[in-house]
């Protein structure tokens, strides 16, 4: 439960900082409507572009597995946010209750006990992505347990275990915080650093030092970014 609790706490902090207190009611501090379900299915559509799914273009292109995993992490941000909103709006419990319930999901337990994994076929992965889309485009109801279970199955099929999911999530979460602190909303943030996207730089910092904490990772990003500006 420790890893999912820490991820939920980081997501709560990011949402509070980005959207303002009370975002769980469905509005940002600027009055903008929040639609986490739309965030999920739009991100899922981007995930499918990791594969050469078009029958008329680049039909022999190799899957972009690294991009797939980054997109899985982006979807995880939004799924956790939707869970936090659901528990708050519907009085289902505290953040810790959500963490406990997630940790008891069979898919989460499967990720937790798995070692290094391979990939499912592109068709199998895209079918699972479409399961997530079908759940979130339904305006009337949301099957939250199925959403989490489908996501964990997708993560497993994408070659991620819990350690990988946690490490990539923390890295992307800190990068998202860094972006917000450096003009992302205002359009002044520089996303390409010396010819590489900031995602790639973040992953390189992790690879060079597995002992990084969220705080020291932020400091590492700050150090590299300072050379650009």
| Residue 98 lies inside a defined structural domain of this protein | yes
Residue 190 belongs to some domain of the structure: no
Domain assignment present for 202: no
Considering the entire predicted model, what is its pTM? 0.86
Interval 103-142: pLDDT, tens: 999 999 999 988 777 899 999 999 999 999 999 998 778 8
| Position 215 pLDDT exceeds 90 | no
d(CA 130, CA 107): 18
Q: Is the dihedral of CA 176, 217, 160, 47 positive or negative?
A: positive
CATH classification of the domain holding 32: 1.10.4010.10
**pLDDT digits over 6-52, tens only?**
999 999 998 998 899 999 999 999 999 999 999 999 999 999 999 99
**Which percentage of the chain shows pLDDT scores above 70?**
100
Q: Per the structure, how many domains does the chain have?
A: 1
- Does position 179 have pLDDT exceeding 80, yes or no? yes
């Amino acid at each position: 439960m420790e890893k999912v609790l820490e991820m939920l706490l980081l997501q709560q902090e990011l949402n509070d900082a980005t959207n303002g207190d009370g975002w769980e009611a469905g509005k940002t501090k600027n009055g903008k409507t929040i639609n986490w379900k739309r965030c999920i299915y739009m991100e899922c559509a981007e995930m499918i572009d990791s594969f050469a799914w078009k029958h008329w273009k680049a039909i022999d292109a190799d899957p972009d597995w690294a991009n797939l995993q980054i997109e899985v992490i982006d979807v995880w941000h939004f799924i956790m946010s939707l869970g936090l909103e659901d528990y708050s709006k519907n009085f289902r419990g505290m953040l810790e209750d959500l963490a406990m319930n997630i940790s008891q999901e069979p898919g989460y337990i499967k990720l937790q006990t798995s070692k290094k994994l391979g990939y499912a076929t592109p068709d199998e992965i895209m079918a699972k992505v479409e399961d997530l889309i079908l759940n979130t485009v339904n305006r009337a109801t949301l099957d939250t347990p199925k959403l989490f279970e489908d996501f964990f199955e997708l993560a497993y099929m994408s070659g991620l275990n819990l350690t990988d999911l946690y490490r990539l999530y923390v890295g992307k979460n800190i990068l998202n915080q860094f972006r917000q602190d450096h003009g992302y909303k205002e359009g002044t943030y520089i996303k390409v650093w010396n010819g590489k996207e900031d995602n790639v730089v973040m992953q390189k910092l992790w690879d060079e030092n597995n002992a990084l904490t969220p705080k020291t990772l932020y400091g590492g990003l700050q150090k590299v970014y300072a050379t650009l500006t």
